[in-house]
Structure 1
């Protein structure tokens, strides 16, 4: 990625920081000289923060274990980040979950709620809690990770598609409300070669009774660039949309999908 520059001393909060895209995003911010608060629902995020502390000794990394669907925990997180860093300039909402494939008539209401809780309510609660801190130092950015599957409905994935479609609209509403102080954008990934993607391919192969390689070749072969993107490709987009290089962009969604969907 070309060099992205930020003013000195800035702080970013990355959710889902222990996952593939989240960790890559932390790295991109660190390479640009930004201090990072790492958030995940799993306590393994502490190890991730320690690794970055060793690699970038001139920066500050702190880890937080928080359930983004719990309003009280998110409010406490905002207080902790204010205490630990004194400021927040960039909120990158990476955390998300896939849906268990199911037709609507068989879809458990609990599964529907689980997916919308993490993928939609989580970004809402994070924005609500951190807007005051972002404003306190003169403004900043919020960047949400949506999905190209939020562009249209897909059979067997009604909850996931709905959650990501709604996230596009939430992003636009926030952008309209918070301008000019806070810019709000979204990134819409296609197939990204994360552990989550690999698990989904394995599940599909098992369900169809074919090999993993056959499913992978089929899925990746449908992408014009013929490969699933690496997590760093999404991190590049998130950091770009957070940086001064995108200072005239707000309310937008950036497709990073290898050409699988033109929008």
Structure 2
């Protein structure tokens, strides 16, 4: 999927990019002309992702850089992000992504589990932003924080999303004013995008409800205003739009990419 947004010569960094939506976002940016550093905790998975992106896009191998760092380890993230920025020669686009915490109720959640989720979602994103923002501000850039549609409409029995994700919304809004006009900061909020994580959730739903996987998939699709689940390519196109000059007048906002799942008027 080659969109209209032109990233020729742009330098981008995507965290949690060895799989899923992060990897797809990196592929989209490379396909549109960017050099992209992908960050994850597994060097092996990063190398596999790098080979896949190069094969999918036909780009030169030096268009995809890898940097190893665990989002829950601040020193590793600082080193990975700083090193990637040095290797890229600066930074124009930052996409913060992180692994999704488990869906569970407050009764099922221990304090240690909450601390672990905080470390990956809030602290990891904070450290990434704090490390990258000076480089982004130096030449003018864009941040897209991948959050979750459920943060705007919390669901029962989903304590991590309800407690942690809204903090990223508020931080993005604050940073858009603090760093404007040099840096635009927005959130993109997926739901119903087919990834390994969603497929796993569909399988769990089928098992819990005693229905087939196809029936469970249809039940998830029936939650949406459109007639089917979304693709990673559709999601990545939305991220690329927010990161591109086409969205030069868009900052401090959230873009749901959820097939019309959210029903709030605001």
- Shorter chain as denominator, the TM-score bin is over 0.9
Could you state the TM-score of these two structures normalised by the residue count of structure 1? 0.92
Could you state the TM-score of these two structures normalised by the residue count of structure 2? 0.91
Tell me the SS of whatever aligns to 1:105.
coil
Taking the aligned partners of 1:171 and 1:58, their CA distance within structure 2 comes to 33
Moved more, 53-62 or 251-260: 53-62
The aligned counterpart of 1:27 is 27
**Do residues 92 (structure 1) and 95 (structure 2) align?**
yes
CA contact 2:144–2:185 (8 Å) conserved in 1: yes
Taking the aligned partners of 1:116 and 1:139, their CA distance within structure 2 comes to 29
CA deviation profile, 1:202-253 (whole Å, cap 9, x unmatched): 1222233332222211111121112111111211111111110001111011
Number of residues paired by the alignment? 260
The aligned counterpart of 2:124 is 122
* CA apart distance, 1:41: 2.1
Consecutive unaligned residues in structure 1, runs of 5 or more:
none
The aligned counterpart of 2:111 is 109
- The equivalences for 1:4-153 within 5 A come to 4-6=5-7, 8-43=8-43, 44-53=45-54, 55-57=58-60, 60-101=63-104, 103-136=105-138, 138-153=139-154
Tell me the SS of whatever aligns to 2:255.
strand
Taking the aligned partners of 2:52 and 2:39, their CA distance within structure 1 comes to 15
Taking the aligned partners of 2:47 and 2:61, their CA distance within structure 1 comes to 18
Tell me the SS of whatever aligns to 2:65.
strand
Taking the aligned partners of 1:153 and 1:24, their CA distance within structure 2 comes to 26
The aligned counterpart of 2:164 is 163
CA contact 2:67–2:84 (8 Å) conserved in 1: no
Relative to structure 1, the CA distance from residue 153 to residue 82 in structure 2 (aligned partners, 3 Å threshold; closer, same or farther) is closer
* CA apart distance, 1:152: 2.5
Taking the aligned partners of 2:208 and 2:131, their CA distance within structure 1 comes to 41
Tell me the SS of whatever aligns to 1:91.
strand
Taking the aligned partners of 2:3 and 2:193, their CA distance within structure 1 comes to 21
Consecutive unaligned residues in structure 2, runs of 5 or more:
none
CA contact 1:53–1:59 (8 Å) conserved in 2: no
Moved more, 202-211 or 152-161: 202-211
Tell me the SS of whatever aligns to 1:96.
coil
